[in-house]
C-alpha cells in the first residue's frame, strides 16, 4: 500500500517541486510571511515566561540517552524500573499528601525513561514485561474506558512551510476553502449523527482565515443541536496564540483543551522542517503552553510528530516539557498525542520520513510514555491501522478518534475515505472504518466507549483535575459517566447488534462500581437516560 502511495506522489504534478526542495531560493519566504495569526497585547504577563532553553535541554537528553545504554542491557535494572513505575502509579511509595504534589513523582525520571528507551525492542521478554506494566498502570488510572472524538477542519488555507504537510502553502494542487456558517452547521449535524459529543477543531494559518473567524466558528459548533445530538466539548488544535488571544478563546466558554504539537523538539530539525513563517520560530512555538497557562487556559495538550527525528529524543523532550508545565503551573499536560508521519500530497518528507518509526518502536514508545506520565490522556488517531490501534489500547492509549475525515466538508457529503487518496486532506488515514464499527469493535474487545465531558464543565481542569487524578480518584467519576454516555449512544444511534453488545457491557460495568452509594446514584441516572433525559453526569 505504501509503495502505491509513493508512486502517486512521484507521479503528481507537484513532484517537480520536490526536486527543488533542497534549494534555498525555493524556500524563500512569501511577501506576507510577517503576518501573524495572533498578536500579543499582554506585555507584562509575557515577562513571566521562561526561556525555551530552560525547558528543553538537548545536552541533558543526549547525556542520559548515552549514559544509560549499558543499563538498558541489564534485565534486572530494567525490571526494577518497571516495578518502580507500577508502585508509583499505584501510590505504594508515598507516605503523605505532600509527596503527591507532582504527578511525575508517580511516573518516571528522565534517567529511567532513557534506560527504557534504550532497551532493544527485539528483546521479546523485556518488551512483554514493559507492555504488561503499561497496561496495569493504564487500567489503574483509566480502567477500560476509551474517550472518543473526531476532528473538524474548518479551513485549509495555510501559509505554513511545513515540509511534511499537505496543507502547506507551497502545495498548489490542493483546493483551498473555509467553511461558512451554513456549511459548518451541516458538518456538525453530520458529526452529531455519528453519536459524537467531542470534536477537535483545526485550521491552518492564513490571512484568509482569521482568529476572529475561528472564534465565531467555535461558538457556532458549541450551539448546534440536532435531536439529541450536541457537541459538549470543543477541543482546538490551531496555530500558536498570544496570551491576549488565549483569553479571548477562554471567554467563549466553549473550549476544553488547547492542543499544539511541537512537531519535533530537536532545534536543528525543527528549523529544517519549517524553513520560514511563524511556525518556524522554535521558541515562540514551545512557549505557547506557558502563554496558555498564564491566560487561564489550563487544559493543554502536547505532542510530537514521530518520524522527523530520533523517537527516543522526542519522548525525552516530551517528558521535559511535561515536567516544566507541572513544576511551573501545577498541572502537566492534559493530553499527549503521538502521531506518526503519514504520506501527504506534494510532500517528499512525509513519503520518506527521515527517522521512520516502525511498529515495534511505536509500541515501545507508547508504553514508555504511559509509565513516564501516567495520568495524562494519550491520544491515537486514524493515522494508524485498525490492527495497530487495537494493540496500542493495551499499551496506554486512553483517547482515540473515530470515523475521522480530514477533507474540508467531507462529513456532510459522507465521502468515503479512500486509503490511496491523500490529495485532498492534510495527510493519509489508515483506519477508514465508520464510527459505529469502531465503537462496536471496542465493545467486542471489552472496552467502554466514552463521550464524557463532565470535568471541564464542572471546573475540574488544570491543577484541580490533577489534584484528583494524582491520587487515582478520577476513575470514580469517569467510570459511571462513561456508562451514562454509552447508554445515550445505544438509545440514540446504535444499530441492533451494537445495542445488544452495549447493554451487556453496561451490565458488567455496573458490577465494577464498588461504592454502594455511587452504584445507586448511577442506576437512578441510568433510568433517567432511558426515559429520555440527556447529559447527566457526576
Residue-wise pLDDT for 27-48, tens only, equals 445 555 556 788 888 888 888 9
> Whole domain around residue 348: which residue ranges?
2-46+141-433
The answer to whether residue 480 sits within a structural domain is yes
Query: How confident is the model at residue 459, as a pLDDT?
Result: 72
CA–CA separation, 302 vs 431, rounded Å?
A: 23
162 Cβ neighbours under 8 A, 6+ residues apart: 168, 263, 273, 274, 279
* Closest by CA position to 335, among listed 395, 365, 380: 380
- pLDDT surpassing 70 at residue 231: yes
Average confidence score pLDDT of the chain: 90
- pLDDT surpassing 80 at residue 67: yes
Q: What is the pTM of this model?
A: 0.91
How confident is the model over 503-514, as a mean pLDDT?
Answer: 96
CA–CA separation, 398 vs 13, rounded Å?
A: 40
228 and 189 assigned to the same domain = yes
Q: Where a domain ends, among 413, 433, 453?
A: 433
369 and 486 assigned to the same domain = no
CB 270 within 8 A of CB 263: yes
The answer to whether residue 253 sits within a structural domain is yes
Query: How confident is the model at residue 486, as a pLDDT?
Result: 98
**pLDDT tens column, 400-423:** 999 999 999 999 987 655 444 445
Q: What percent of the chain has pLDDT over 90?
A: 78
386 and 489 assigned to the same domain = no
Query: How confident is the model at residue 148, as a pLDDT?
Result: 98
The answer to whether residue 393 sits within a structural domain is yes
The answer to whether residue 129 sits within a structural domain is no
383 and 476 assigned to the same domain = no
* Closest by CA position to 348, among listed 23, 21, 28, 26: 21
The answer to whether residue 68 sits within a structural domain is no
406 and 519 assigned to the same domain = no
* Closest by CA position to 479, among listed 438, 444, 534, 521: 521
Would you place residue 146 in the very low, low, confident or very high pLDDT band (cuts 50, 70, 90)?
very high
Under DSSP, is residue 14 helix (H, G, I), strand (E, B) or coil?
coil
Number of domains in the chain: 2
CB 12 within 8 A of CB 346: yes
150 and 216 assigned to the same domain = yes
150 and 261 assigned to the same domain = yes
Q: Where a domain ends, among 433, 450, 479?
A: 433
Amino acid at each position: 500500500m505504501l509503495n502505491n502511495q509513493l508512486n502517486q506522489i512521484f507521479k503528481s504534478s507537484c513532484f517537480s517541486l520536490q526536486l527543488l526542495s533542497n534549494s534555498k531560493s525555493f524556500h524563500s519566504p512569501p511577501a506576507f510571511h510577517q503576518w501573524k495569526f495572533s498578536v500579543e497585547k499582554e506585555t507584562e504577563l509575557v515577562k513571566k515566561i521562561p526561556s525555551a532553553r530552560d525547558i528543553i535541554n538537548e545536552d541533558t537528553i543526549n547525556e542520559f540517552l548515552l549514559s544509560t545504554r549499558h543499563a538498558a542491557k541489564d534485565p534486572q535494572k530494567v525490571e526494577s524500573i518497571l516495578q518502580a513505575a507500577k508502585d508509583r502509579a499505584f501510590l505504594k511509595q508515598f507516605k503523605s499528601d505532600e509527596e503527591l504534589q507532582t504527578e511525575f513523582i508517580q511516573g518516571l525520571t528522565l534517567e529511567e525513561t532513557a534506560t527504557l528507551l534504550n532497551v532493544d525492542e527485539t528483546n521479546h521478554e523485556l518488551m512483554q514485561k514493559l507492555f504488561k506494566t503499561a497496561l496495569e498502570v493504564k487500567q489503574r488510572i483509566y480502567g477500560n474506558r476509551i474517550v472518543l472524538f473526531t476532528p473538524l477542519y474548518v479551513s485549509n488555507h495555510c501559509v505554513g512551510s511545513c515540509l511534511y504537510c499537505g496543507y502547506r502553502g507551497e502545495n498548489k494542487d490542493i483546493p483551498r476553502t473555509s467553511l461558512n456558517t451554513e456549511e459548518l452547521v451541516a458538518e456538525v449535524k453530520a458529526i452529531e449523527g455519528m453519536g459524537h459529543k467531542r470534536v477537535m477543531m483545526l485550521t491552518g494559518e492564513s490571512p484568509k482565515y482569521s482568529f476572529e473567524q475561528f472564534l465565531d466558528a467555535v461558538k457556532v459548533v458549541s450551539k448546534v443541536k440536532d435531536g439529541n445530538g450536541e457537541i459538549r466539548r470543543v477541543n482546538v488544535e490551531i496555530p500558536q496564540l498570544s496570551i491576549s488571544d488565549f483569553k479571548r478563546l477562554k471567554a467563549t466558554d466553549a473550549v476544553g483543551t488547547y492542543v499544539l504539537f511541537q512537531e519535533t523538539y530537536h532545534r536543528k530539525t525543527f528549523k529544517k522542517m519549517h524553513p520560514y513563517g511563524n511556525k518556524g520560530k522554535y521558541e515562540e512555538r514551545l512557549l505557547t503552553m506557558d502563554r496558555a497557562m498564564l491566560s487561564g487556559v489550563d487544559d493543554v495538550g502536547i505532542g510530537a510528530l514521530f518520524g522527523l527525528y530520533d523517537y527516543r529524543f522526542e519522548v525525552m523532550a516530551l517528558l521535559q516539557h511535561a515536567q516544566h508545565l507541572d513544576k511551573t503551573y501545577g498541572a502537566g499536560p492534559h493530553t499527549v498525542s503521538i502521531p506518526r508521519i503519514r504520506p501527504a500530497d506534494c510532500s517528499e518528507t512525509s513519503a520518506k520520513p527521515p527517522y521512520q518509526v516502525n511498529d515495534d518502536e511505536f509500541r515501545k514508545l507508547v508504553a514508555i510514555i504511559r509509565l513516564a506520565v501516567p495520568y495524562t490522556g494519550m491520544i491515537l488517531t486514524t493515522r494508524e491501522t485498525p490492527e495497530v490501534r487495537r494493540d496500542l489500547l493495551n499499551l496506554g492509549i486512553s483517547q482515540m478518534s473515530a470515523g475521522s475525515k480530514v477533507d474540508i466538508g467531507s462529513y456532510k457529503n459522507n465521502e468515503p475515505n479512500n486509503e490511496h487518496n491523500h490529495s485532498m486532506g492534510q495527510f493519509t488515514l489508515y483506519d477508514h472504518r465508520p464510527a459505529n464499527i469502531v465503537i462496536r469493535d471496542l465493545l467486542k474487545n471489552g472496552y467502554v466507549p466514552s463521550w464524557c465531558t463532565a470535568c471541564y464543565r464542572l471546573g475540574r481542569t488544570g491543577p484541580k483535575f490533577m489534584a484528583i487524578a494524582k491520587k487515582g480518584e478520577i476513575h470514580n467519576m469517569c467510570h459511571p459517566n462513561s456508562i451514562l454516555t454509552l447508554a445515550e449512544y445505544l438509545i440514540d444511534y446504535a444499530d441492533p447488534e451494537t445495542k445488544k453488545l452495549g447493554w451487556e457491557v453496561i451490565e458488567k460495568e455496573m458490577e465494577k462500581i464498588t461504592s454502594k452509594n455511587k452504584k445507586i446514584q448511577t442506576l437512578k441516572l441510568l433510568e433517567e437516560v432511558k426515559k429520555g433525559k440527556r447529559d447527566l453526569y457526576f
